[in-house]
Amino acid sequence: MALKGTSQDQRNVQHLFDLRIILLGGRNSGKSLVGNAILNQEAFVLHERTTCLKRKAEVQGRSVTVVDTPGWWCDFSAQDTPELVRREIRHSVCLSLPGPHVFLLVVKTDSVFIEKRRRSVEKHLELLGEKVWGHVLVLFRKSTNLGNKSFEDHVQASGKPLQWLLEKCSGRFHVFDTQKTCDASQVMELMGKIDKMVAENERQHFEMDVKALKEIEDRKREVELKAHQRLMKIHKQRSTLKVHSSQHQNIRLILLGAKGSGKSSTGNSILAAGSDLRFTAKKRTARCMKKTFTMLGREVTVVDTPGWWMNYFTQDSSAFDKQEIVNSVYLCPPGPHAFLLVVRLDRSFTEIYKRAIEEHIELVSKDVWNHSIVLFTFGDWLGDTTIEQYIESEGKILQWLVERCGDRYHVLNNKGVGNKFQTAELLEKIEEMTAGYSVRHFQTDESLFKEIEKNGKYRKTGQSCDVKMC
């Protein structure tokens, strides 16, 4: 296949004086860096965002608008991408009306463009409709580890998935070195290719159906309104509960959730508020672990558990993992004050995940819900979006979970573990939850406790201990 992007004979094409560009691509693909290089200024801050950002500047005597979009996980399918991000990808068109001339699809070249990645690109671009492909130019972010290989060698070696992508874009691509963002010549070359594409498209921009655009705008407004209403409702609920709430002498927590959802990291964020103890978060948690520390005069106990695979129902999980979930409550006698249901924000919450949570936590008891709080991890990923906007965007399935937990939820950024405020607020929410209960903690079967103790199934190691399975 002829690769147009490598051609030296750029035609002399007439410039558009008002050029509109949308940046698309996976997470950390370098979209914002590319946007900054095009606009020749620090227009986009280099951190994760879940909303689009539009910037406009004069570049080489013409007005250039760039819309940066939130990225998707490169190897995920579009249905794993949260609705918020999917909507923002579509919303980028509303921000570049009457329509963008070009979509720069930023692709990293530091690893092979595998079939999974191809499918992910295909499905995410499908959100914009088939016509989008007539306006896409692939921007390969140059990797330093290509060695002596030419870029064309790399394309050949990457095989069919990459060839498919280039064919879809009629061979339009540009190789961009983000380590040389100050090199104006590579931006000029890119602009030349964009101008050529625009000329080939007879200066027509990409257009979306007016009705579709209106639906996107309407939905965004609806989400904002509902998010505000939710926030007001939660404020009211919390202030009523606060009146009856008092500080617990001690507080016992159990972390439950899918594998990799951030349970151990959450445990560590809590522990960081008052101790040097830590759970191992570098490898999977294989069995229940308990840690106890003293914080502002009260004893806090945290039990970490092994999780379930996100899309596994109880029939698929191992008997050992299921038994560990059940046994977790016996690690904090006379019973936990709260079950923290850990859910990652950066993945869409599907019907399957919902059923997986429901089945696994009900292994403990059908009564767990009254003592549960949804604990959202990856708060850093949310950026400027509020948790209420996220819940409203994500839709009915996640709202079901939140409502099942009595509208109790909390967000943590486990990468900002020094932030004691997030833990203090979580403990307050737990105290508010139990304020109306005659027995504040979840009640477990006492006879089983005695049995476990009698058989010496607790193995103590300093301030932490784990429960040995029989």
Q: Of 158, 377, 422, 434, which lies in the binding site for ligand GTP, with binding defined by CB under 6 A? A: 377
The helix (run of H) or strand (run of E) holding residue 39 is: helix 31-39
372 binds, among Mg ion, ligand GTP, none (CB under 5 to 8 A by kind): none
What are 318's two structure tokens?
Answer: 């191992």
Q: Which is nearer to ligand GTP, 27 or 123 (CB)?
A: 27
Q: Which is nearer to ligand GTP, 162 or 255 (CB)?
A: 255
Cβ neighbors of 349 (< 8 A, separation 6 or more) are: 82, 343, 394, 397, 398, 401
- Return d(Cα 416, Cα 123) in angstroms, integer: 33
Name which of 128, 129, 64 is nearest 93 in CA terms.
128
- Return d(Cα 340, Cα 303) in angstroms, integer: 10
Strands (E), 313-402: 338-344, 372-377
30 binds, among ligand GTP, Mg ion, none (CB under 5 to 8 A by kind): none
Judged by CB under 6 A, the stretch of 81-89, 154-162, 213-221, 408-416 that binds ligand GTP is: 408-416
Q: Which is nearer to ligand GTP, 135 or 263 (CB)?
A: 263
Q: Which is nearer to Mg ion, 99 or 260 (CB)?
A: 260
Site for Mg ion in 244-273 (CB under 5 A): 263-264
Q: What angle do CA 454, 460, 462 make, to 5 degrees?
A: 150
Closest separation in Å from C-beta 260 to Mg ion:
8
- Return d(Cα 256, Cα 261) in angstroms, integer: 9
Amino acid identity at 311: N
Interstrand relation of 458-461 and 409-411 (parallel, antiparallel or unpaired): unpaired
Closest separation in Å from C-beta 305 to ligand GTP:
8
26 binds, among ligand GTP, Mg ion, none (CB under 5 to 8 A by kind): none
171 binds ligand GTP (CB under 6 A): no
Q: Of 224, 358, 380, 407, which lies in the binding site for ligand GTP, with binding defined by CB under 6 A? A: 380
- Return d(Cα 349, Cα 310) in angstroms, integer: 10
Judged by CB under 6 A, the stretch of 9-17, 229-237, 244-252, 371-379 that binds ligand GTP is: 371-379
Site for ligand GTP in 13-72 (CB under 6 A): none
Contact at 8 Å (CB) between 150 and 186? Answer: no
The helix (run of H) or strand (run of E) holding residue 120 is: helix 115-126
Site for ligand GTP in 251-310 (CB under 6 A): 257, 259-265, 281, 284-285, 306-307
Q: Which residue has the tokens 């016996």?
A: 330
120 binds, among Mg ion, ligand GTP, none (CB under 5 to 8 A by kind): none
285 binds Mg ion (CB under 5 A): yes
> What are the start-end ranges of the H helices in 169-303?
184-200, 210-244, 263-271
Closest separation in Å from C-beta 340 to ligand GTP:
11
193 binds ligand GTP (CB under 6 A): no
Binding site for Mg ion (CB under 5 A): 263-264, 285
Binding site for ligand GTP (CB under 6 A): 257, 259-265, 281, 284-285, 306-307, 377-380, 412-415
